[in-house]
C-alpha cells in the first residue's frame, strides 16, 4: 500500500553492509529518534527542529555538500496514549500528514522509501555514525546554560537497534553531551566523511529560534492527511452544523499561498480539550474536577450564546457522562465516535488528530494547562486566522477563569 513506485536515482556511491553491497546515490541521510515515552505532539515539535535544520542546510550557499542531506522520518510506533496495540508498529507519516506539503519545506523521505529505494528491507543496515544526545549532568545543578557539546561517557545504556527494527544498527555509537540549538549539529556533519547519521534522543537539541517566520513556515507545512481533514469536515457539518465557507475557515491548497488574517469565525460550538488520565496525578493543582470544568464550560456557552460544546478528552466514559448530565438538556455535549473503518485504518493516533481538527475550527477554544495537544490546536487556530482571544485560553482548577492564561505565540509571516 505504501511502497514507492518512483524511478530509482542514478547511483554514484556505495558502501558494504554486512558483506552485501548496497549502492547509495549522491545524497546523504539524517535519521533521528526520540525518547520512547514522549508523546505524539511533542514528537511533532522535535520534527520541526530537524526539518528547519535541513531547510537551512538546503539553502546553505557556502557548502554544497550540506545540500545533499535528506531527513528520514521515523515511523510512528506504539505511543503512551495509543491503546490500539501492545506491539510496536511502523506507521508511515503519510497516514497522518500530507507528505507533499512537508516536502515543500524540507527534503524529507519516509523510512519505507529508504528501504524500497535501496532494496534493503530484509538486510541489515549499518548507520555510519550514531550520536546519542544527552544533557550535561552538572548543567541543571550549576545553572550555567551555555552552548556546548562534547563526546563523553554515556549517562544511560545504549540501544543496539533503532526504530523497533531488528535490521537497523551501527558499530559506531557515541554519546554527545549537548546543550544548544539543532543547527549546531552541522559541525558534526562537516567533521565527518560519513553518509548516514542518526541523532538519538533528538529532543535534547533545541529550536534555533522559537516562533519566528521560519518556525511558522515549517509549522504551516505540517498539514494533516487530507482524508483525516475530510472526516473531520463531514463530522462538523453533520453534528455541529459548521462549514468552512460560513465559518470563514477556508485555506488555500498550498500553505505557501496563505496570507495573514484574523477574520476566521469558526463553527457555532465551543471547543474544549480536557486532559485527564496522567494529568490528574502529575498536575493535580492545575487540572479541574469534572464539576469545575462544567462550570467554566457552562459560563462560556452562556457568554457566547452557544448551545453545543465539542469535547476532546481522554477522560473515562463515566466522567464524560457526568459532564453530559450536568449540561443537558439546555446544552449538548458532543464527542467524536469513529466509524469502525476509521479506527481500523487510522488507529488511536488518527482519532486524536480528527478531534484536534474539530477543536481547531470551533468558535472559541479552551485547552488544558501545559498540554502539547492543546498547544498544537492553538497553533492550528493561528494558521486558520482566529482572533487570539478566542484561542489562548485554559480550564482553571477552581472552576473560575481567574488562573493565568497560556503563553501566547502569535503567527508570523
Residues with catalytic roles: 38
The DSSP element (H or E) to which 362 belongs, if any, is strand 362-366
All cell numbers assigned to 388: 487570539
Beta-sheet strand order (sheet of 196-200) = 108-110, 69-73, 28-32, 196-200, 129-134, 173-179, 148-152
Query: For residues 272 and 366, is the Cβ–Cβ distance under 8 A?
Result: yes
Alpha carbon distance 106, 32 (integer Å): 15
Q: Would you tell me how many other CB atoms lie within 10 Å of the CB of residue 104?
A: 14
> Regarding beta strands 173-179 and 148-152, do their DSSP bridges make them parallel or antiparallel, or are they unpaired?
antiparallel
Query: For residues 360 and 377, is the Cβ–Cβ distance under 8 A?
Result: yes
Spatial CA neighbour of 25 closest among 39, 15, 16 = 15
Helical H runs in 29-164? 40-58, 99-103, 111-118, 139-142
Spatial CA neighbour of 293 closest among 390, 398, 209 = 398
Alpha carbon distance 400, 297 (integer Å): 10
Alpha carbon distance 112, 122 (integer Å): 12
Spatial CA neighbour of 223 closest among 387, 390, 102, 62 = 102
Phi, psi of 350 (to 5 degrees): -65, -40
Query: For residues 134 and 156, is the Cβ–Cβ distance under 8 A?
Result: yes
Phi, psi of 52 (to 5 degrees): -65, -40
Amino acid at each position: 500500500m505504501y511502497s514507492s513506485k518512483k524511478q530509482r536515482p542514478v547511483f554514484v556511491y556505495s558502501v558494504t553492509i554486512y558483506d552485501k553491497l548496497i549502492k547509495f546515490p549522491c545524497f546523504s541521510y539524517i535519521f533521528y529518534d526520540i525518547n520512547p515515552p514522549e508523546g505524539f505532539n511533542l514528537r511533532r515539535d522535535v520534527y520541526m527542529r530537524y526539518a528547519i535544520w535541513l531547510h537551512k542546510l538546503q539553502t546553505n550557499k557556502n557548502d554544497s555538500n550540506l545540500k545533499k542531506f535528506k531527513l528520514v522520518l521515523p515511523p510512528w510506533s506504539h505511543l503512551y496514549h495509543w491503546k490500539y496495540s501492545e506491539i510496536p508498529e511502523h506507521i508511515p507519516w503519510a497516514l497522518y500528514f500530507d507528505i507533499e506539503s512537508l516536502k515543500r519545506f524540507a527534503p524529507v523521505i519516509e523510512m519505507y522509501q529508504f528501504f524500497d529505494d535501496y532494496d534493503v528491507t530484509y538486510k541489515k543496515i549499518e548507520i555510519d555514525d550514531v550520536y546519542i544526545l544527552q544533557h550535561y549532568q552538572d548543567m541543571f545543578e550549576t545553572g550555567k546554560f551555555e552552548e556546548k557539546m562534547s563526546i563523553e561517557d554515556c549517562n544511560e545504556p545504549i540501544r543496539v537497534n533503532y526504530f523497533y527494527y531488528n535490521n537497523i544498527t551501527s558499530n559506531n555509537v557515541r554519546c554527545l553531551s549537548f546543550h544548544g540549538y539543532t543547527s549546531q549539529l552541522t559541525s558534526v556533519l562537516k567533521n565527518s566523511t560519513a553518509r548516514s547519521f542518526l541523532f538519538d534522543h533528538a529532543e535534547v537539541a533545541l529550536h534555533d529560534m522559537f516562533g519566528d517566520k521560519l518556525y511558522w513556515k515549517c509549522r504551516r507545512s505540517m498539514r494533516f492527511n487530507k482524508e483525516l481533514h475530510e472526516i473531520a469536515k463531514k463530522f462538523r457539518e453533520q453534528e455541529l452544523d459548521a462549514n468552512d465557507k460560513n465559518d470563514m475557515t477556508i485555506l488555500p491548497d498550498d500553505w505557501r499561498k496563505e496570507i495573514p488574517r484574523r477574520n476566521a469565525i469558526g463553527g457555532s460550538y465551543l471547543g474544549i480539550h480536557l486532559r485527564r488520565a496522567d494529568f490528574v496525578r502529575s498536575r493535580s493543582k492545575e487540572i479541574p474536577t469534572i464539576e469545575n470544568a462544567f462550570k467554566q464550560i457552562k459560563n462560556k456557552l452562556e457568554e457566547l450564546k452557544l448551545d453545543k460544546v465539542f469535547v476532546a478528552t481522554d477522560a473515562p466514559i463515566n466522567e464524560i457522562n457526568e459532564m453530559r448530565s450536568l449540561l443537558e438538556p439546555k446544552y449538548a455535549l458532543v464527542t467524536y465516535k469513529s466509524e469502525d473503518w476509521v479506527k481500523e485504518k487510522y488507529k488511536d493516533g488518527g482519532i486524536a488528530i480528527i478531534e484536534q481538527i474539530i477543536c481547531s475550527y470551533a468558535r472559541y477554544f479552551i485547552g488544558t494547562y501545559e498540554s502539547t495537544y492543546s498547544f498544537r490546536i492553538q497553533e492550528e487556530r493561528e494558521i486558520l486566522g482566529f482572533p487570539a482571544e478566542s484561542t489562548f485560553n485554559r480550564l482553571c482548577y477552581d472552576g473560575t477563569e481567574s488562573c493565568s492564561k497560556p503563553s501566547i505565540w502569535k503567527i508570523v509571516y
